[in-house]
Amino acid sequence: MTFHVTRVAVSVLLLGASAAPSFAQAVQSTLTLSLGGDAEQHSTAYDCGELGQISVGYINAAPNFLALVPYEGKTLIFAAALAASGVRYVSGNYEWWTKGAEATFHDLTAAEDAPPLASCSEITNTP
């Protein structure tokens, strides 16, 4: 089965000025994957506090679980990795970890006690 993800577009709103790297950029990507079995694609919007809002794309096709996270003008492709709870995704030196409606974004090369680059909460449309 060929699963074609076309133009995963991410628009982000910067809520405040920050010296830290931000998600505040529009990113468009095209990715074509050949995956076996049932595959599903969805996106989830997150509020990442001072770093703004992002939309993360998820591709689930067991045993492959991917997250497409916008960061500094690029779309980083994360693969699921072993986690004690929630879903931990890694891409190079970055980690995107979701648990329920919460997510954190870390630079794994930072000091062990360094705060995450972002702490995010899922945006829901319920009143």
Question: Looking at residue 60, what is its pLDDT?
Answer: 93
For 68-82, write each residue's pLDDT tens digit: 999 998 999 999 999
From the number of C-beta atoms within 10 Å of its C-beta (0-12, 13-18, 19+), residue 98 rates as buried
Q: Which of 68, 85, 65, 62 is nearest to 29 (CA)?
A: 68
Helix (H/G/I), strand (E/B), else coil: 114? coil
Question: Looking at residue 38, what is its pLDDT?
Answer: 83
66 pLDDT above the threshold of 80: yes
Q: How do beta strands 2-5 and 40-47 pair? A: unpaired
Integer Cα distance of 31 and 36 in angstroms: 16
Fold of 2-122: Lipocalin (2.40.128)
Integer Cα distance of 93 and 97 in angstroms: 13
Least confident of 14-18, 38-42, 68-72: 14-18
Q: Which residues contact 127 (CB under 8 A, 6 or more apart)?
A: none
Type of residue found at 44: T
From the number of C-beta atoms within 10 Å of its C-beta (0-12, 13-18, 19+), residue 5 rates as middle
Parse the chain into domains and list their residue ranges. Answer: 2-122
